[in-house]
Structure formats: structure tokens, C-alpha cells
Amino acid sequence: MKESKLNPFDAELLVMIRDITKREPAVEEQNDGYEITVNNWGCSTREIDAMKNVVAGRAGGRLKDTVVTDTGIVFQMAYDPTEYPEQIRTRLVDPDATAGTRYCRTLLEVDAIQVRRDNVDDLLRFTGGGTMTTPRTPDGRAVYSFADGNGIFIDAPESWFIVREPNGRMIARPERDFNREFEPKGIHTVGNYDGQPARPSITEITDLFNKLFGTNIASRCRKIEEEFNEYKQAVRAAMPTFDDPAQMNAVVDELADLNAVIFHTAAILGISQRDLLGMAYDKVKGRQADPMYKRTHPHEKKNNGCGDCANFTNEDINGNGYCEAFKSEQSCGIFRCQEYKPKN
């Protein structure tokens, strides 16, 4: 890729010309400047003059000359010679992804780099060139500007992450959003069980589960049922007060086991837990307006748990009532406790 001396101002000028003329400008760089050529086929003299005036007003003294031919308008531009003290600029070169760190989301890996004032050289390598603008105020926030690969300049504030997607396109993400979805590939953080850091990456967890438990969906389904039954037993033991620390620890422990099998099953199917949660959220939101939204099978109301217990009285429309066995208010649950008595 040929090095380019164009800066963000030049890119914005090209975008402006494209928006006004609805035509794609052609750029030819030379040693002492560059030329912008716009097809003027079908344009009236008035339209051509208006285009010349707009570019002249935008470019100012950097517009050296304008030449009108039978096929186009050629704007002869000078490069911006100014080096601003608050900017670190480089010529555009091929982006080097190795300047960043490999990050992974569930079943998705990307290269990314965080915008900081102390890693400008790596930022320039990663994006293939850009401009770091540092404010002169003590509490100001630096901004790094770079081309996304399609000629559009993106501003990434300090602490944001620049992400190279699998298709090569680069985007900027806030630090909080990025950390919610990604983690450094193969990097652990805190340790507590084998002398090794304890927070393995999603990829490592999936690989370990595949190795130990296989990838058969039917086998994983049987394991889900087994773990769910163990979870129900822990919940029954903690009922009805759910205030015994030891019993609640058992509930959480069994929930973790159940969640692990669900996670592994989703990974085998190529779906992240985040995606599963989004699918469920969509159905919940949709069913607020349409109870049958994305419902593929009818739900039958079953009489079990507290709602089918003789000790449960004064039940209201929301399933709340009074338990004669525990002498306390209860909500209609799906689990039967040790005091369950069937209604006549």
C-alpha cells in the first residue's frame, strides 16, 4: 500500500464533495500535492460554479487551482504542512494487527487495542496511521483519529478500544462495553484452586469441557436433567425461608453446575449465553404485547407445588397466600416442601 499524506481534514473534504455531488471523487496523490477529480457530466454551468465555490471555501489557501474539462472538475490541492503541537500524526500505511492484543468473545476472536497516550506507536501500527490529539487542559481527554479502511475517519476517545472485526473493518468501542463482551485470549486473572490463575478464557473453558465431556447433545441434555434435579433438591432443602447460609450456598453451587452444562451445550451449538439471553429477552418483551409471540407450543397450567397444597390458603390472583404449616405469607411456588398435603 502506498503511503498517504492525507489527513482527517482531507478525508472530510472528500466526504463533503461526495455528499454534495452524489458522485465518487477520484484522488491522485503527487509529490507536492494531490488532485481531486469529480465527474461533471450532465452538470450545468451554475452547478459547476457552485461546486467550485464550496470546495474553495472549505479548502481555503490549500486549493492551488481548479481546472474544468469536458469530463470533470479537477481541484489541485496542497498537502497540509502544519504540524500541530497537540497532534501526533503519521502517514497512512498498511495496518498491523500484531500491534494489538488478541481478544475473544464466546466463539468470536478479534484483535483490539486500547487508546492511551503512552501507546501511540502501537496505535499507529494497529490502524495503519492516525492522529492523536491531546488537549491542553489538565483534565482533558485525548482523542485518536484513524481511517476505518473505507476512507471514513473515526474518533476514539482515550480509554476506548479500537477493534478489528473478522472482515477487516475497524470500529471503536467504549471500554465498559468492550470489557463486557471480550477478554484477552488465553489470559487468566485471579487464582484459587490449583496454583494457576483462576479465570480462564471462554475458549479454554469450552476446550476443557469438550475434552472431558464430549460434544454429544443428547448426552449433555441428560446431564442438564441430572443437574436440574440436584438444583431442585437444594432449593427444597432451603425452603421456605431461604435464609440458612449453608443451604443457600448449596443452592448457588448447584446452580453453577447447571449453568455450566447449559453453557457447554450452547457452545457446542455455536451460540453464546449472551445470545441466548437476548433471544429470551426478545420473547419476554414481545409477549407483553402478544402472549403468543414466538410461542411454538402451548403451555399447560399444572396444579402442583404450593398452589396444590391444603396448607396454602387465601391465594390471590398473583399466587400469593398464607401457609398454615409455617404460619407465614408465601407465594405460590412450583416445588413441594416437606409439609405438603394434597387438597381434597
Residue of 137 and 34 predicted with greater confidence = 34
What's the pLDDT at 87? 53
CATH hierarchy code of domain 300-344:
2.20.70.100
Q: Which of 46-55, 179-188, 251-260, 296-305 has the lowest mean pLDDT?
A: 296-305
24-28, 250-254, 311-315: range with lowest mean pLDDT: 311-315
Averaged pLDDT for residues 313-337: 75
Q: How far apart are CA 203 and CA 193, in angstroms?
A: 19
Lowest pLDDT segment from 41-55, 250-264, 324-338: 324-338
Q: What is the pLDDT of residue 190?
A: 44
Q: Is the per-residue pLDDT at 2 higher than 60?
A: no
User: How much is the average pLDDT of 297-313?
Assistant: 69
What mean pLDDT comes out for the span 249-270? 92
Minimum mean pLDDT range among 47-56, 81-90, 165-174: 81-90
Residue 104 has pLDDT above 60, yes or no: yes
Q: Is the pLDDT of residue 15 over 60?
A: yes
Show the beta-strand stretches assigned E in the chain: 26-29, 34-39, 63-68, 72-77, 87-89, 101-105, 108-114, 130-133, 143-147, 153-157, 161-164, 170-173, 183-184, 312-313, 320-323, 328-331
pLDDT score of 194: 46
* Cβ atoms of residues 54 and 75 within 8 Å: no
Please report how the helices 202-213 and 245-268 are oriented relative to each other, as an axis angle in degrees rounded to 10.
Answer: 90
pLDDT at 246 over 60: yes
Starting from the edge strand earliest in sequence, which strands make up the sheet with 312-313, in order?
Answer: 312-313, 320-323, 328-331
As a whole number, mean pLDDT of residues 227-234 equals: 93
- Is the per-residue pLDDT at 229 higher than 70? yes
Q: Which of 15-19, 30-34, 194-198 has the lowest mean pLDDT?
A: 194-198
- More confident position, 301 or 97: 97
- Of residues 277 and 97, which shows the higher confidence score? 277
pLDDT value of position 308: 78
pTM exceeds cut of 0.85: no
Sign of the alpha-carbon dihedral angle for 237, 238, 241, 243: positive
Considering the domain 8-77 in this protein, what is its CATH number? Answer: 3.30.200
Q: Which of these ranges, 138-142, 265-269, 317-321, has the smallest mean pLDDT?
A: 317-321
Quick one: pLDDT at residue 82?
A: 61
> Above 50 in pLDDT, residue 191?
no
Which pLDDT value is given to residue 204? 81
For the segment 173-200, the average pLDDT, to the nearest whole number, is 65
pLDDT at 195: 47
- Of 191-205, 251-265, 276-290, least confident by mean pLDDT is 191-205
Question: Which range has the top average pLDDT, 130-139, 189-198, 238-247, 311-320?
Answer: 238-247
319, burial (CB in 10 Å: exposed 0-12, middle 13-18, buried 19+): middle
